[in-house]
Structure 1
Amino acid sequence: MKKITWLLPLVVTTVLVSAQKKSDRKTLTNLQQHISYLSSDKLEGRLTGAPGEKLAAEYIQSQMQQIGLVPKGTDGFLQTFSVKEGREPAANCSFELNHRPLTAGTQYIPLPFTATKAAKGEVLPQANEPDNIWLINVAELDSTKFTSRRELYKRETAEAAKAGATGVIFFNGTESLPEINSWLETNETAASIPAVWVSKEISKILDDENANSFLIQLNVALKPVKRTGTNVIGYVDNKAARTVIIGAHYDHLGYGEDNNGLTKGKVLYHGANDNASGIAALLELARQIKASKLKNTNFLFVAFSGNEQSLSGSKYLTANSPIDLSQANYMLNLDMIGRLNTTHGLQIAGMGTSPSWTKLLENTNKETKVVYEASGVGNSDHTSFYRKQIPVLFFFTGMEDYHQPEDSADKINYEGTLTVMKVVFELIEKTDTIEKLAFTATPEPTTAAIK
């Protein structure tokens, strides 16, 4: 009898450890499956509004169905939103500089008030002549009298047209490509002449003091464009008074069409860490929570699109929420959690958004280096919920291969991703039986520090 009493705890412990290892192995297998598919060539980088994004949404929806989540979109699990509605260069839009064709969207961009017409000429540097194309050095303009750079360009275009210019090219502008492209989402009254902005690369050519002249041929043509993104939303309804929101974005950069990749030219951005890793963890957390004994909280799982387009998916969801956000306890954001290592460890931002976070996270996995940050504001989707005065936490594991095509599934630390999941699940367990967390505002960073 003594032997049985003595051995029973050992047997129970062995069974529990074995079961835990089996559960972990299953989770690791699922993480690899999710990340490998979402970052595969088939999905073409999951650009918001592109066919690859739709395939990713279908996959996430099917996984949520298998888990048994309740659909919470406007069309089953899906919630669509407008990402961009405006204009973009048409197929026949062209710009030749010394007989060299330039690429619209990267080397030059038509301005929103441009005339859609052609212009050509042999243009002399530093000599803006009537009946010819003008080159305007933006670095020499006084922008202090204008509320925006766009207004400055608009004024200069109008004055050039009035002086007889047949077209205008602005060089040495400090704006980024995405910023200039975003201007085409605005409606502007067209000028009488074509007006384009050129990149730093082309600006260097036009700013060459030793150049004798430039042969320029322009044909500005625009077409209407509308891009639609899709959030995927599932729910665990425990009929509770409060809800925890767990989110991750699944969109990425596609082939770099929006010019926010860090490699020149058309290349496939796989986005394994950014952010197939977060989506994989979200799906596995949903699976675990659905099967758990956590019954005092409802759970909203959201796979956001439009993260790479100024957080448009999470902004839309918080403005059109499928639940009453006043009942939201807090929001957890999983973004780039697949590169855990001993150098930078796990970073958790948003610690200042509730006085409860410090106590709840004080015993976080002691074998993992954890770096905390107070601010609830950053370049990821938790910011949209912070703006609604909801406590947030942002889980993140570093910037390796950020916005690079080398961000592939073979570089993911799957054991590390599982470790992050365990930290998140333990936190959720701790909050299941306590009161609703209080919200506190945090200082606004001068720049978005993360992501």
Structure 2
Amino acid sequence: MRIPCFLSISAFFISFIPALSQDLKLDKNTKYALSKVDTARIKRDITYLSDDKLKGRLPGKEGYQMAVDYVVEQFKQTGLIPSGDNGTFLQKLILRKATVNTSLSSAILKDKNGNQDTLVIGKEITLFPNALQNKVLAEAPLVFAGYGIDVPGKYSDYDGIDVKGKIVVVLSGAPKSLQLPSSIQAHFGNPAAKMRIAAAKGAIGIIMSTDTPGPASTLGSGVTLAMDTARTSAIGRNSIGKLQLSARVPYSELARIFMNSKKNLKQVLAILEQGKSSSFEFPLSILVQYSSAYKDMESYNVIAKIEGTDKKLKNEYVIHTAHLDHLGIAQPIKGDSIYNGAHDNASGVACLLEIARTYKKTGVKPRRSILIVMTTAEEMGLLGSAYFAAYPTVPKSQIVADINTDMPTLIAPLLSVAPLGAEHSGLDKSVDFACAQLGIEKQKDPMPEEARFVRSDQYSFVLEGIPALHIKYGTKTMDPSFDLVKFTKQWRDANYHKPSDEITNSFDFNAAKKYVQLNFLISYSIAQTTNRPKWNAGDFFGTVVE
């Protein structure tokens, strides 16, 4: 795919525009470092990591190990300090694939009169496996809890109901009528958030359904989670945590449950869409028993440090993350079955390698230390980042921010960006500073309906209380009549998570250079500023950690 010629523009650099503080200026070493960002090296790294011989970098396979070895070698050549386990560049974790044995599972609805209705596993109800408890038997009353959300001081589906020891039935997504910011809307629409809230309210299980007719979801028949090496905790957005049961039912089954409640489903949905809660206890209970089987494999995050120069601040860390994995070999499309992941996310890894070189090779002296973290199993549910954020190789209290890079989509000149999540904390000032240096326009998320804030590794850090952001492309072009969002969407529809995501597909390496410069300047401004970034006063994500 060719980019229209009127989009061509060279990357440029504005020497100094104060935006973060009156004290922060770019010295000659830093300006020199920015000028030395090398598109040839970026292209070389992407080319290797997306080569067919790596077979799509699937964790647990030889191709992923080749990617790990390549990154380790680049870290060594750059002169970075190992910051993984036991003086190495690697942090080991266990990836556990858990599946439900449907032949040993059952689900039975019971009413107040003792009548029973057996649900067909995989059709009328789909179960999430339990990664820690091999066999589960759960029986409890059912309670309808709307969308299963709880916005402190604004709205709660749990007002007026007692769910302790019960199983909640909730809807997927979040009501638009609440007019929540896109990042918070995405958070509450995430099933992991619904499970966390249900558990915090004392429920023992959760059953999710859609609010519109459609086919049954197949999610739940198998999930992969990150385990600690002792296998005593399971981490990941599909982890049911403290709950005994997590399941899904199709809309048709939800409607059937409502028929026994003397409540009208459509009327309840209409009330919810008005931004009003409509929760109640069903005159039903459910008995579920199921068995989970496990398959474990080792995988690795790859971690290196650029040590800070300030006697005190060097013990604090600004983190750059990018996921190293992709989808491996899968369903052939047009005869190609290798999902190379050049844009997703070999390009992100290449950008971080170049950021590391920019710090290390050109005399830049950050006051805080910088960690470069290449994560595993992002495509399996943000597992590598969730593991690192929960069990970091540096003190968690000393991590001040995460700057994530995932599929920067380098297919057009980078004239504007949407810093997902930055608006919740002082990181927004660092973005302002970096954008001002490069003449880049900062915009709001142009696609809030995509819920991108919860779909990449920065979300793992947010859930641990660490300010984080993810820089995505904006909408600005040289020709205002050209719809870059539409163009990018068409490109993504054709190439995202497909074998056609290869090095030969539409790279703009001037945009890559500018992207590296921008993300470098964001971390540099954080590293140089004495006060660490804080959540904005009263911000939701500043209090989201349990």
Whole-angstrom CA distance in 2 between matches of 1:293 and 1:343: 24
CA distance 1:28–1:79, change in 2 (3 Å): same
Instruction: Give the SS at the match of 1:225.
Output: strand
The reply to whether residue 114 of structure 1 matches residue 103 of structure 2 is: yes
Unaligned runs of 5+ in 2: 1-27, 106-118, 128-140, 144-166, 170-213, 227-233, 235-291, 474-487, 542-546
Whole-angstrom CA distance in 1 between matches of 2:293 and 2:93: 21
Indicate if the aligned counterparts of 1:235 and 1:300 stay in contact, CA closer than 8 A: yes
Correspondence for 2:244 = none
Q: Which of 463, 470, 495 is residue 387 of structure 1 equivalent to?
A: 463
Whole-angstrom CA distance in 2 between matches of 1:139 and 1:68: 55
Whole-angstrom CA distance in 2 between matches of 1:31 and 1:394: 19
Whole-angstrom CA distance in 1 between matches of 2:224 and 2:529: 49
The reply to whether residue 371 of structure 1 matches residue 443 of structure 2 is: yes
The reply to whether residue 78 of structure 1 matches residue 90 of structure 2 is: yes
Correspondence for 1:249 = 323
CA distance 1:356–1:277, change in 2 (3 Å): closer
The reply to whether residue 236 of structure 1 matches residue 306 of structure 2 is: yes
Indicate if the aligned counterparts of 1:338 and 1:417 stay in contact, CA closer than 8 A: no
Shift of 1:299: 0.8
Shift of 1:443: 5.3
The reply to whether residue 437 of structure 1 matches residue 528 of structure 2 is: no
Aligned pairs, how many? 326
Instruction: Give the SS at the match of 2:45.
Output: helix
Instruction: Give the SS at the match of 2:95.
Output: strand
Shift of 1:403: 1.0
Shift of 1:423: 1.0
1:203-240: per-residue Cα shift (whole Å, max 9, x none)?
A: xxxxxxxxxxxxxxxxxxx9862222210000122251
Whole-angstrom CA distance in 2 between matches of 1:434 and 1:184: 37
Instruction: Return the letter of the residue paired with 1:112.
Output: N
Indicate if the aligned counterparts of 1:355 and 1:438 stay in contact, CA closer than 8 A: yes
* Cα RMSD, aligned residues only: 4.1
Indicate if the aligned counterparts of 1:112 and 1:183 stay in contact, CA closer than 8 A: no
Whole-angstrom CA distance in 2 between matches of 1:290 and 1:328: 20
Instruction: Give the SS at the match of 2:338.
Output: coil
Shift of 1:314: 0.7
Q: Which of 413, 417, 420 is residue 349 of structure 1 equivalent to?
A: 420
Q: TM-score, normalised by structure 2?
A: 0.52
Shift of 1:387: 1.3
Correspondence for 1:278 = 348
Correspondence for 1:328 = 399
Instruction: Give the SS at the match of 1:361.
Output: helix
Q: Whose relative contact order is higher, 1 or 2, with alpha carbons under 8 Å and at least 6 apart?
A: 2
Whole-angstrom CA distance in 1 between matches of 2:430 and 2:71: 34
Shift of 1:391: 1.3
- Which segment drifts farther, 359-368 or 29-38? 359-368
Whole-angstrom CA distance in 1 between matches of 2:358 and 2:225: 45
Indicate if the aligned counterparts of 2:58 and 2:326 stay in contact, CA closer than 8 A: yes
The reply to whether residue 23 of structure 1 matches residue 36 of structure 2 is: yes
Whole-angstrom CA distance in 2 between matches of 1:436 and 1:419: 25
Indicate if the aligned counterparts of 2:427 and 2:467 stay in contact, CA closer than 8 A: no
Correspondence for 1:175 = 217
Indicate if the aligned counterparts of 2:126 and 2:220 stay in contact, CA closer than 8 A: no
Instruction: Return the letter of the residue paired with 2:421.
Output: G
Whole-angstrom CA distance in 1 between matches of 2:377 and 2:125: 35
Whole-angstrom CA distance in 1 between matches of 2:57 and 2:343: 13
Correspondence for 1:64 = 75
Shift of 1:295: 3.4
CA distance 1:415–1:338, change in 2 (3 Å): farther
Instruction: Return the letter of the residue paired with 1:62.
Output: E
Shift of 1:352: 2.3
What's the % identity of the aligned pairs?
26
CA distance 1:81–1:183, change in 2 (3 Å): closer
Instruction: Give the SS at the match of 1:61.
Output: helix
Instruction: Return the letter of the residue paired with 1:371.
Output: Q
Indicate if the aligned counterparts of 1:236 and 1:299 stay in contact, CA closer than 8 A: yes
CA distance 1:359–1:142, change in 2 (3 Å): closer
Which residues of 2 match residues 13-412 of structure 1 at below 5 A? Answer: 23-24=36-37, 27-74=38-85, 76-86=88-98, 111-114=100-103, 147=167, 174-176=216-218, 179-182=220-223, 225-238=295-308, 240-256=314-330, 267-291=337-361, 292-341=363-412, 345-358=416-429, 360-361=431-432, 364=435, 367-373=439-445, 377-397=453-473, 400=492, 401-411=495-505, 412=507
Indicate if the aligned counterparts of 1:376 and 1:393 stay in contact, CA closer than 8 A: no
Shift of 1:305: 0.5
Instruction: Give the SS at the match of 1:394.
Output: strand
Instruction: Give the SS at the match of 1:286.
Output: helix
1:104-126: per-residue Cα shift (whole Å, max 9, x none)?
A: xxxxxxx524269xxxxxxxxxx
Whole-angstrom CA distance in 2 between matches of 1:141 and 1:376: 28
Whole-angstrom CA distance in 2 between matches of 1:322 and 1:438: 22
Q: TM-score, normalised by structure 1?
A: 0.62
